[in-house]
Amino acid sequence: MQGICLVCGMHVSENTRSCPKCDNALDLQHDGSTITVDIAHDGERVSEALRKMQSEIDSASKGVAMRIRLVVGSGLIRDEVLLALRDLKFRGDVRDFESEPTNAGAVLVRLK
């Protein structure tokens, strides 16, 4: 799969970390968009929701979206997602996260 440098437009391979043409860091480039994913309202158990969250974050991190919005509900899944996100932030896999200001059942995760 190929990507594109958002600064100069050069086509690059998926594993390239910096653009060979303009030397910009590709994994920090984003288009400002937010991807919304519901991980808690299809009968998921906590472990299933966490696997779904990790898969969606991994996928979104390879793209150009700046954030992912996880719809988590207000129960146990939300609590476990927040704990997992603290770990991902500590490891550097996500830049930051916060509960959505107007909806406690959603979490905004900054990827880039």
What integer pLDDT is reported at residue 1 of this predicted model? 55
Low-confidence ranges of the chain (pLDDT < 70): 1-2
Q: 14: buried, middle or exposed (CB in 10 Å: 19+, 13-18, 0-12)?
A: exposed
What integer pLDDT is reported at residue 100 of this predicted model? 94
- Based on the domain organization, do 73 and 19 belong to the same domain? no
Instruction: Tell me how far apart the alpha carbons of residues 49 and 38 are, in angstroms, rounded to a whole number.
Output: 9
What integer pLDDT is reported at residue 29 of this predicted model? 79
Number of structural domains the chain divides into: 2
- Based on the domain organization, do 23 and 37 belong to the same domain? no
How much of the chain, in percent, has pLDDT values that exceed 70?
A: 98
Q: What is the dihedral of CA 39, 64, 111, 105, to 10 degrees?
A: -30
- Based on the domain organization, do 10 and 38 belong to the same domain? no
- Based on the domain organization, do 26 and 50 belong to the same domain? no
- Based on the domain organization, do 64 and 97 belong to the same domain? yes
- Based on the domain organization, do 69 and 103 belong to the same domain? yes
- Based on the domain organization, do 97 and 56 belong to the same domain? yes
User: Could you list the residue range(s) of the whole structural domain that residue 51 is in?
Assistant: 31-110
- Based on the domain organization, do 15 and 1 belong to the same domain? yes
CATH number at residue 93: 3.30.1370.110
Q: Which residues contact 52 (CB under 8 A, 6 or more apart)?
A: 37, 39, 44
How much of the chain, in percent, has pLDDT values that exceed 90?
A: 62
Q: Is the pTM of this model over 0.75?
A: yes
